[in-house]
Chains A and B, each alone.
Chain A
Amino acid sequence: MKRPALIAFFLLSFLLFSPSLADASLKLFVDDVEVALQRDLVMINGNYMIPLWVFAEHLGAQVQVDQSHLQIVFPDQTIQMQLGAEFALVDGKEYKLEVAPQLLDGEIIVPLRFMADQRHLSLTYIQELNGFRLSRKAPRFSGLGSLLSGEGLGAPTEGGEAQPVGSEREEKEPGASVVLYEPSTERGLKEIAFLGGPRATIFLDLESYTGYQTYLLEHPARLVIDLYGVNGDPPPALEVDSPVVSSIRASRFDEQTLRVVCDLQAPTGYQVLPAPEGGLTIEFNYQLTALQLEEVEGNLVLSFASSAAPEVHTTYLQNPLRLVLDFQDTTLMTRSFDLTVNLGPVVRFRAGQHSPSVTRVVLELSEPLASLPIEERAAGSFIVPLFQGTASDLAAYLRTQQDQRSGGEGTELLPVQEGVLSGLVIAVDPGHGGSDPGTIGYRGTFEKDVNLAISLYLGELLSEAGAKVVYTRDSDVYVSIFRRPEIALEAQADLFVSIHVNSHIERGRARGTETLYRAGDPISERFARIVQDELVKAITLIDRRIWGRNDLAVFNGSDIPSILVEVGFLDHPDEEVLLRAPGFQEAAAQGIFNGIVRFYLENKR
């Protein structure tokens, strides 16, 4: 007897959430008599609605309508409702309705499932007949068979559409009919088991049931599960030590209904799943707490706490640019929020419960941002690392990382002491600028912009470490290459670092990182070697070594230890996407910075 009920549940879910079926012309039967509907059954918010007059004409009720007040009087029960009000009084007891009764084309409609529940009517969907059947009869799981065999329905009094179906009679799986509610005897709840796990799972070991309804209530937080068609004694209550559930108790609600109440620490979303072996499994959502956007070691991350890592679905939306992260099977335990922020490209950060099982986080952006897979930082503490660039930038970056990951070296941040560079004057020279764009990438990226971005990141790091930073330019202006070393000299710079990105004569031909230094100057050479080392370690592009040159204008004008860093090749399509990405630019700046610090510390000794 279990299986049909399970199948019923599946099909009911399918039925109620399948909009296409709502459009089909559904029929309605009361017992074996087809109801002559004036118009199609309507679905509102996932609930089928039934015309009120059906209860008068087919189910023995007296229906009184007074203004907006509806009174449906059965010999044993009075149900009162109000048009537009999401509650009902059943023999004076108040119930919440998912959908309010309403007037549609001159007809009053009320929620079908609620009425069936209240009347303890079995509600069956019969696929072959494309209709529901409300039945007052005893259990009949072979309901389809009896319908098709013509028992009572062989010659419907109204609407002959059922007739041809009978002619197609064949052995059907019971799944073809959906029993939504069916009174019966000799069914019990054998046991309540708390299975725990990251999603706090409860198992209700039911011999059988005909339906159920759940309510998540607050004050105090609890999940109520009414199990229909279940009799017998309720099992003993269960005390649970879990962050989600504190206790589970069962009691008899009425003759046919057993009520299970799960006392919760806080209202938490849940999912009810019929277990394949029978019974019901209740899985609570992951509880999402401490949702924050933060910078960790210079990288933007979204951090949160949860019992385990949920699945995250990401979407990009334009106008305004947004990165949307949907945390599956989660309940946001904090209030929803909407914050104006200024963290990297994120200008607005909001989160909320998007649906009972999905927490939605929206990052509104000024520049593209992509998310990486969740990482567990500590037990129960997770981060979603964010990459400043588009998803394709990220893909290219990961590809390059994979290509280059041979030596197993990672980007190690140097333990920089505060003020480690204090007293040092460093000239930072962003190549090109203004009317001179430098080289231009496939996607139209100007070298001058990439150079400036990396230089400004570098300058920030150097300043933080106590150095005095002198830029040869800090905006998009043209400065002659002969003027640049003069600026460094005038500022009495100790080091000169020129930042460029490269191009081969044949586009896309070359890739990698190289550093040029003043030929014949051992200090510049050592400086270049260390910076090249650290930069390659940080960005893991191909190491094109260091090259001594005596013909670069920026080296000619001074005797300051000087290097010119060519971070990558802008004319190489893969490297261009990296060089455009702020996350990569920052990583490059960090690598160069690490090199400068290391050179300075080693040179000081």
Chain B
Amino acid sequence: MKKERILAGLLLAALAVLAVRAAVGWPVSQEAVPVVLDVSQPFYPVYFGSRENGLLAPEFHQGTGTVEEVLAHLLAGPSLEQLISVIPAETVLLGYRQSGETLYVSFSHHLVTNHPGGSTGEILTVYSIVNSLTDLDGIEQVQILVENQVIDTLAGHLNLQRALRKDHTALGSSVL
């Protein structure tokens, strides 16, 4: 299972590097933000929205990745130009707690109040969080809280009364 993941990760990373190089021109200029991954070292994905379609696409970061790091990247937004932030403006992290394989993450109310809505928008926001965090070891599902409370839904479509598992259907394959 982990082996497959690493292989998939390597492939994605290679594609990402190629795409970034193709996007910014060869050779990579000094300003071009990240992302020359050393694939022999650990790296982890953080998911953002694709500019190309309504799906999620990963941005890779070197390291093993922690919950704080992943959440910090999510809230800060992507470095890659092809990606867009999917967390509503002004949203801040209020805290998180892991219980077994479930991670509870609490955001400020802006996650809901500043969200534009739409099932596509809601899926992007929720699964950028869920997919990014469930790629970390030991986390299988994520429950999103708002102002430390369980919520029914973010934008009126997804059932957020419960923890969610990684959603592969929200992942685009044609992005990078």
Residues of A in contact with B (beta carbons under 8 Å apart): 431-432, 436, 438-440, 447, 480-482, 500-507, 509-510, 514, 516, 519, 544, 547-549, 551-554, 556, 564, 566, 569-571
Contacts and interface: CB of A to CB of B under 8 A. Distances in A.
A509 B159 CA distance: 25
Nearest to A480: B152
Interface in B25-54: 49, 51, 53-54
A439 B119 CA distance: 9
Interface string B140-159: 00000000000011011111
B116 A507 contact: yes
B118 A569 contact: yes
B131 interface: no
Given A509-B51, A510-B54, A553-B152, A503 B159 contact: no
Contacts of A481: 152-153, 156-157, 159
22 contacts: A438-B117, A438-B118, A439-B155, A481-B152, A482-B159, A500-B118, A502-B120, A503-B120, A504-B54, A504-B118, A504-B120, A505-B121, A505-B125, A509-B51, A514-B120, A544-B54, A547-B169, A552-B157, A556-B159, A564-B119, A566-B120, A569-B120
A431 to B, nearest CB: 7
B74 interface: no
A571 to B, nearest CB: 6
B84 A505 contact: yes
Nearest to B126: A551
B86 interface: yes
- 5 closest residue pairs by CB, A with B: A503-B118, A439-B117, A553-B159, A502-B118, A505-B121
B54 A548 contact: no
Nearest to B54: A510
Given A505-B84, A505-B116, A544-B54, A438 B156 contact: yes
B137 interface: no
Contacts of A436: 156
Given A482-B152, A505-B86, A549-B169, A439 B118 contact: yes
Nearest to A516: B119
A382 B119 CA distance: 43
B16 interface: no
B124 interface: yes
Contact of B116 (A503, A553, A554, A556): A503
B155 to A, nearest CB: 8
Interface string B117-137: 111110111000000000000
A502 B159 contact: no
A467 to B, nearest CB: 25
A185 B118 CA distance: 85
Nearest to B85: A505
Interface residues of B, number: 27
A569 B85 CA distance: 19
Task: From A431, A432, A439, A480, name the one whose CB has the most chain B CB atoms within 10 angstroms.
Answer: A439
A553 B120 contact: no
Interface in B105-124: 116-121, 123-124
Contacts of B116: 439-440, 503-505, 507, 571
A551 B156 contact: no
Contact of B53 (A431, A440, A447, A510): A510
B159 A439 contact: no
Given A431-B156, A505-B125, A553-B153, A570 B118 contact: yes
A444 to B, nearest CB: 13
Nearest to B86: A505
A440 B161 CA distance: 24
A531 to B, nearest CB: 15
A554 B157 CA distance: 7
Contacts of B120: 502-505, 510, 514, 566, 569
A434 to B, nearest CB: 11
B163 to A, nearest CB: 11
Given A432-B156, A438-B155, 6 more contacts: A431-B157, A439-B118, A481-B157, A482-B159, A501-B118, A504-B116
B164 interface: yes
Contact of B158 (A505, A547, A553): A553
Contacts of A431: 156-157
Nearest to A503: B118
Interface string B82-93: 001110000000
A343 B107 CA distance: 50
A569 B152 CA distance: 24
B167 interface: yes
A439 B169 CA distance: 23
A382 B156 CA distance: 47
A439 B114 CA distance: 11
A536 B126 CA distance: 27
Contacts of A438: 117-118, 155-156
A552 B160 CA distance: 9
A438 B122 CA distance: 11
Nearest to A512: B54
Nearest to B158: A551
B117 A447 contact: yes
A553 B160 CA distance: 8
B41 to A, nearest CB: 31
B164 A551 contact: yes
A570 to B, nearest CB: 7
Nearest to A431: B156
Nearest to B167: A551
A553 B154 CA distance: 11
A505 B49 contact: yes
A556 B159 CA distance: 8
A547 B124 CA distance: 14
Contacts of B169: 519, 547-549
Interface in B58-90: 84-86
A500 B118 CA distance: 8
A143 B54 CA distance: 80
A549 B120 CA distance: 12
Nearest to A438: B117
Given A504-B54, A505-B49, A440 B117 contact: yes
B153 A502 contact: no
A514 B169 CA distance: 14
B124 A564 contact: no
Best-buried of B123, B152, B159 by chain A (most CB within 10 Å): B159
Contact of B118 (A482, A551, A571): A571
Contact of B159 (A505, A544, A552): A552
A439 B85 CA distance: 18
